[in-house]
């Protein structure tokens, strides 16, 4: 087990700061690209995904290729109609209808995206449901919560990773955000990776940890790309109200239609914070964990290690049938590497420790956003989070608010220990 992962129990971050929403918005307003970015929002038809997609469209002034993926066409069309009209002829806003709870559908949607786009700059994953009943299984034999929060996200990233790498190789942004619950996970049972024996609490916390480990695994396989797992805080969305679970609907009703609603963040604000997390906080390639204010939460509430990361990767490759990538119509070096290759030197040499140090120094010297106004009510935990954990993630705000994101150019593939060093420095 690497030193940085071992230290997760003792990792501490500064306490919560006030919510610098006005500063966040001002920084986001400075976002600009020298190219037309391609951004996919799976779960962009509602709630948090919608909030991030709208913030992205707003700050790019519509000059982006935005693809919303979901089932609700009417919602998607209305969201797209509200986006600023692009001035660039190559910018486009579109919807792809897809139930991503099924892996065969994920394969279809990723093929469709890859056929149209050789490069992908941003992949935002927020499709999810709240359902405590694990007896309702998808065709793949997985409960919908786990399928949407983990397996389909893993498969979307895996299939689209070549396009992300291509963007990075061309010196463009390449970032993935999975919105779930960074900082609220628990230990996982390597003997029950399918979560068949897990209690409700263990199941929910494990899916959160799976998202952490998923991003660690992808960061190791695709070292030029940024992989972020975030905790959005308590956000006022239809998630609980549309839950098949009576308990969740009741909780959501109380949260949305009583004074408690003032404790929840509007999706618009969440969209700004999460966009800030993607664009500014996750400033370099690698695995990141971001909190409700777009802040870096380091390894607070982190329960992964090398062994669980590798075991889960292998398990997920099998469950998602991801070894047959040749039949998917493309082939990349990254996709063909097995877990056993992770610690092997790649064709290019690994960065020296001093190169890693230099990169980290560059990150830490970026100016920080000061605590500011624009405050909103204190967040409360989401239904899922309140079941899973008494202790929320760090609410500190210490993310760099530097100039335009300047990730390091795609470089040689690091070894596992180089990735560990990078994580430890953060």
If one asks whether residue 384 binds ligand NAP (CB under 6 A), the answer comes out as yes
Please identify which residue in 235, 248, 388, 401 interacts with ligand NAP, judged by CB under 6 A.
Answer: 235
Please identify which residue in 48, 80, 219, 282 interacts with ligand NAP, judged by CB under 6 A.
Answer: 48
If one asks whether residue 71 binds ligand NAP (CB under 6 A), the answer comes out as yes
- Closer of 49 and 277 to ligand NAP (Cβ): 49
Q: How far apart are CA 235 and CA 181, in angstroms?
A: 12
Please identify which residue in 13, 19, 28, 46 interacts with ligand NAP, judged by CB under 6 A.
Answer: 46
Q: Give the contact letters, 180-219, x = binds to ligand NAP (CB under 6 A), - = no.
A: xx--------------------------------------
Q: Go through the chain and tell me how many residues it has.
A: 426
- Closer of 238 and 353 to ligand NAP (Cβ): 238
Please identify which residue in 146, 385, 389, 405 interacts with ligand NAP, judged by CB under 6 A.
Answer: 385
Instruction: Kindly state the number of chain residues that form the binding site for ligand NAP, as judged by CB under 6 A.
Output: 32
If one asks whether residue 234 binds ligand NAP (CB under 6 A), the answer comes out as yes
Q: How far apart are CA 327 and CA 330, in angstroms?
A: 8
Q: Which helix (H) or strand (E) holds 123?
A: strand 122-125
| Least CB distance to ligand NAP at residue 218 (A) | 18
Asked if 108 and 27 count as a contact pair (C-beta separation under 8 A), the reply is: no
Q: How many CB atoms lie within 10 A of CB 325?
A: 16
- DSSP conformation class of 266: P
Q: Which of 54, 51, 83, 60 is nearest to 269 (CA)?
A: 51
If one asks whether residue 179 binds ligand NAP (CB under 6 A), the answer comes out as yes
- Closer of 99 and 357 to ligand NAP (Cβ): 99
Write the DSSP string, 140-178: TS--HHHIIIIIHHHHHHHHHHHHHHHHHHTT---EEEE
If one asks whether residue 128 binds ligand NAP (CB under 6 A), the answer comes out as yes
If one asks whether residue 126 binds ligand NAP (CB under 6 A), the answer comes out as yes
- Closer of 119 and 288 to ligand NAP (Cβ): 288
Please identify which residue in 237, 295, 316, 350 interacts with ligand NAP, judged by CB under 6 A.
Answer: 237
Residue 249's alpha-carbon distances to 69, 159, 257, 384, in angstroms, are 25, 34, 12, 12
If one asks whether residue 49 binds ligand NAP (CB under 6 A), the answer comes out as yes
- Closer of 166 and 249 to ligand NAP (Cβ): 249
Asked if 38 and 124 count as a contact pair (C-beta separation under 8 A), the reply is: no
Counting DSSP H helices and E strands in the chain, the numbers are 15, 7
Q: For helices 200-221 and 152-169, what crossing angle results, to 10°?
A: 20
User: Can you give the binding site for ligand NAP, defined by CB under 6 A?
Assistant: 43, 45-49, 70-72, 75, 99-101, 126-129, 148-149, 179-181, 232, 234-235, 237-239, 242, 382, 384-385
């Amino acid at each position: 087990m690497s030193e940085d992962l071992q230290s997760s129990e003792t990792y501490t971050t500064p306490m919560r700061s006030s919510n610098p929403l006005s500063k966040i918005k001002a920084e986001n307003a400075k976002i600009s690209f020298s190219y037309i970015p391609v951004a996919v929002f799976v779960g962009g038809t509602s709630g948090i995904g919608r909030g991030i997609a709208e913030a992205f469209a707003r700050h790019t002034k519509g000059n982006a290729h935005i693809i919303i993926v979901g089932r609700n066409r009417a919602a998607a069309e209305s969201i797209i109609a509200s986006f600023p009209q692009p001035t660039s002829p190559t910018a486009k806003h579109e919807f792809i209808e897809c139930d991503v709870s099924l892996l065969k559908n994920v394969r279809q949607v990723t093929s469709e995206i890859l056929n149209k786009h050789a490069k992908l700059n941003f992949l935002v994953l927020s499709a999810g449901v709240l359902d405590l009943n694990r007896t309702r299984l998808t065709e793949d034999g997985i409960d919908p919560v786990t399928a949407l929060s983990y397996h389909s996200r893993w498969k979307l990233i895996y299939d689209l990773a070549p396009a992300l790498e291509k963007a990075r190789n061309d010196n463009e942004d390449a970032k993935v955000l999975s919105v779930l619950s960074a900082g609220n996970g628990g230990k996982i049972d390597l003997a029950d990776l399918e979560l068949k024996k897990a209690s409700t609490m263990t199941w929910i916390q494990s899916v959160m940890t799976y998202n952490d480990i998923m991003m660690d695994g992808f960061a190791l396989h695709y070292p030029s790309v940024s992989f972020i797992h975030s905790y959005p805080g308590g956000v006022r969305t239809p998630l609980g109200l549309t839950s098949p679970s009576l308990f969740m609907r009741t909780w959501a009703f109380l949260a949305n239609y009583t004074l408690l609603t003032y404790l929840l963040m509007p999706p618009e604000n969440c969209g700004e914070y999460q966009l800030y997390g993607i664009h500014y906080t996750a400033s370099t390639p690698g695995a990141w964990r971001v909190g409700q204010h777009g802040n870096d939460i380091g390894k607070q509430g982190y329960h992964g290690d090398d062994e669980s990361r590798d075991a889960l990767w292998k398990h997920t490759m099998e469950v998602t049938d991801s070894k047959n990538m040749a039949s998917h119509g493309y082939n990349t070096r990254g996709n063909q590497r097995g877990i056993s290759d992770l610690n092997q030197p790649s064709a290019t040499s690994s960065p020296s420790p001093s190169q890693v140090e230099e990169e980290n120094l560059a990150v830490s010297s970026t100016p920080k956003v000061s605590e500011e106004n624009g405050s909103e009510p204190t967040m409360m935990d989401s239904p899922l989070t309140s079941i899973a954990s008494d202790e929320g993630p760090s609410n500190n705000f210490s993310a760099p608010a530097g100039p335009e994101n300047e990730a390091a150019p795609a470089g040689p593939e690091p070894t596992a220990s180089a990735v560990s060093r990078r994580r430890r420095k953060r």
